[in-house]
């Protein structure tokens, strides 16, 4: 039988049983054993996220005049993220399907702005630190903008002077991250934005990871340098809700300083036989699921809930940091500015960090292997708190096992 043959219809219970059996080898993120890709603030939050998603999964935000419910929910979500990022009543944005769509659109908006302002450019470029997210490369590829990556400093943060020097008359966009993903540090946003203000070009702040966390860490009294619309020159900010907003997947927000800048993101045409067609982002049909899920979870957690889950994730991160920092064989890449942490080994000849990662994965954990340099990367969130000591004990055991397997002969290939 050809594998593409669908065969006769089956019963719903059979299909649901089959679906459950398909997922038996998936990572156990709901149990807090996964340090990447998935986020949980507990079973009650997940249940609400999933139920609100289910109820609006068939609704379509492509045309919100047919679904005023989605228009209102989206606007409320955008308004809350505007207040988190210290925007004002001229800040304008839309929900996106997540960080990648937001960043791709930020690149597109920078190109459109240059065209709208009549700048006569032959090969537009964007200047960004080597640490900025891979999705900027996707945007550069889609919209034919040269990507000028500038090496980060020894502290893994953007090198502002080198970025300034990398700009020229064809530069349309400059980027900072709060925090950047690989080492979890916040770029000097105010100084990066100043370059953009001086050159009158776009400055995007990628707060996909940190937008929620930094907001609530600051409210909890942690000293955090301004990273948002408080910085002159910042023209757009992305914040993902399907990460530390703890909503269902497919939810981010892209904000612009004003509606004119937002008009560089949107698309409208009547050049076909179907009439006027406008859309806020890359998607046409846009499921109501992520919108309803975001609206529901944000109202469920509220400010007090976000303070609680932010504090929990932050404390777990710092507990891991202290353990790694005191460990004779491990080395932390940077003091975490939020809830991301990466580490390697003191002597890669003796301890291959990816072998340590593999031991942890066999022990039922899941985490990211990252290069360069060869490191383990952890995205710590609210679900992890009760499991941190168990994780650290398993980590210590994995380090020992890898060390004793290799002895001190140094005969293994280095990974760094
Ligand atoms: C996750 C992430 C992105 C990409 O977002 P997706 O939701 O995975 O598309 C962009 N920037 C940063 C800093 C991220 O952590």
Q: How confident is the model at residue 412 (pLDDT cuts 50, 70, 90)?
A: very low
C-beta atoms surrounding 214 within 10 Å:
28
d(CA 133, CA 184): 12
Q: How far is the CA of 10 from the centre of ligand 1 (A)?
A: 38
Number of Cβ within a 10 Å radius of residue 412 = 16
Q: What is the pLDDT of residues 240-282, one digit of tens each?
A: 999 999 999 999 999 999 999 999 999 999 999 999 999 999 9
Confidence bin at 414 (pLDDT 50/70/90)? very low
| 162-192 residue pLDDT tens | 999 999 999 999 999 999 999 999 999 999 9
pLDDT in tens, 367-391: 999 999 999 999 999 999 999 999 9
Phi, psi at 53, each rounded to 5°: -60, -50
Cα radius of gyration rounded to whole Å, the chain = 23
Mean per-residue pLDDT for 390-404? 97
pLDDT tens by residue, 138-152: 999 999 999 999 999
Q: Is 228 in the pocket of ligand 1 (CB under 6 A)?
A: no
The per-residue pLDDT for 352 is 97
CA of 35 to the centre of ligand 1 (A): 15
Mean pLDDT of 61-88: 97
Give the angle subtended at the CA of 120 by the CAs of 92 and 265, to the nearest 5°.
20
For residue 251, CA distances in Å to 53, 233, 245, 302, 411 come to: 11, 26, 9, 17, 47
| Residue 4 confidence (pLDDT) | 83
Instruction: State pLDDT tens for residues 29-56.
Output: 999 999 999 999 999 999 999 999 999 9
Mean predicted lDDT score pLDDT of the chain: 96
Q: What is the mean pLDDT of residues 351-358?
A: 98
Contacts of 58 (CB under 8 A, 6+ apart): 287, 288
> Ligand 1 mean position to 23 CA, how many Å?
24
Could you write out the DSSP letters of every residue in 268-321?
A: EE--STT--EEESSS-SS-BHHHHHHHHHHHHHHHHHHHHHHHHHHHHHHHHHH
Q: Which residues of 230-244 are buried (b: 16+ CB within 10 A; e: fewer)?
A: ebebbbbbbbbbbbb
Is this prediction's pTM over 0.85?
A: yes
* pLDDT bucket at 5, cuts 50 / 70 / 90: confident
98 C-beta closer than 6 A to ligand 1: yes
Taking the alpha carbons at both ends of the chain, their separation in whole angstroms is 49
Mutate to test the pocket of ligand 1, among 99, 130, 157 (most ligand atoms within 8 A of CB): 99
Kindly state the average pLDDT of the residues 293-316: 98
Nearest 5°: CA angle at 305, between 303 and 308? 110
Burial class (CB in 10 A: 0-12, 13-18, 19+), 50: middle
Neighbouring-strand partners of residue 253? 95, 239
Cβ of residue 337 lying under 6 Å from some atom of ligand 1:
no
Q: Are 186 and 194 in contact (CB under 8 A)?
A: no
- pLDDT recorded at residue 2: 63
Is residue 411 pLDDT above 60, yes or no?
no
């Amino acid at each position: 039988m050809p594998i593409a043959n669908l065969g006769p219809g089956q019963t719903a219970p059979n299909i649901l049983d089959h679906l459950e059996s398909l997922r038996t080898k998936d990572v156990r993120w709901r149990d807090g054993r996964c340090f990447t890709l998935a986020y949980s603030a507990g079973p009650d939050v997940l249940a609400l996220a999933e139920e609100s998603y289910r109820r609006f999964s068939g609704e379509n935000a492509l045309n919100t005049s047919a679904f005023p419910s989605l228009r209102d929910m989206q606007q409320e979500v955008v308004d809350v993220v505007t207040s988190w990022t210290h925007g004002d009543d001229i800040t304008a944005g839309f929900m996106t399907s997540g960080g990648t769509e937001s960043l791709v659109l930020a690149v597109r908006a920078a190109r459109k702005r240059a065209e709208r302002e009549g700048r006569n450019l032959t090969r537009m470029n964007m200047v960004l630190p080597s640490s900025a997210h891979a999705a900027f490369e996707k945007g550069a590829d889609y919209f034919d903008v040269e990507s000028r990556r500038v090496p980060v400093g020894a502290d893994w943060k953007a090198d502002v002077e080198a970025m300034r020097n990398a700009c020229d008359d064809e530069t349309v966009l400059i980027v900072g991250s709060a925090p950047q993903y690989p080492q979890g540090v916040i770029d000097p946003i105010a100084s990066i934005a100043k370059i953009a203000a001086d050159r009158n070009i776009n400055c995007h702040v990628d707060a996909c990871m940190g937008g929620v966390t930094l907001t609530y860490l600051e409210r909890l009294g942690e000293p955090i340098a301004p990273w948002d619309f408080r910085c002159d020159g910042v023209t757009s900010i992305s914040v993902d809700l399907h990460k530390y907003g703890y909503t269902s997947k497919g939810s981010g927000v892209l904000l612009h300083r004003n509606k004119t800048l937002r008009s560089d993101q949107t698309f409208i045409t009547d050049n076909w036989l179907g009439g006027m067609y406008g859309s806020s982002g890359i998607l046409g049909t846009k499921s109501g699921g992520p919108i309803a899920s975001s609206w529901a979870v944000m109202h469920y957690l509220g400010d007090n809930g976000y303070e609680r889950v932010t504090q929990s994730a932050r404390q777990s991160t710092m507990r891991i940091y202290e353990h790694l920092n005191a460990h004779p064989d491990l080395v932390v890449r940077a003091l975490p500015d939020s809830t991301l942490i990466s580490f390697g080994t003191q002597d890669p000849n003796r301890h291959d960090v990816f072998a340590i990662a593999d031991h942890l994965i066999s022990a039922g954990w899941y985490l990211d292997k990252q290069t360069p340099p060869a490191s383990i990367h952890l995205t710590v969130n609210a679900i992890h708190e009760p499991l941190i000591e168990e994780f650290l004990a398993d980590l210590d055991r994995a380090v020992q096992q890898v060390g004793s397997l290799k002895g001190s002969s140094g005969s293994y290939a280095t990974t760094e």
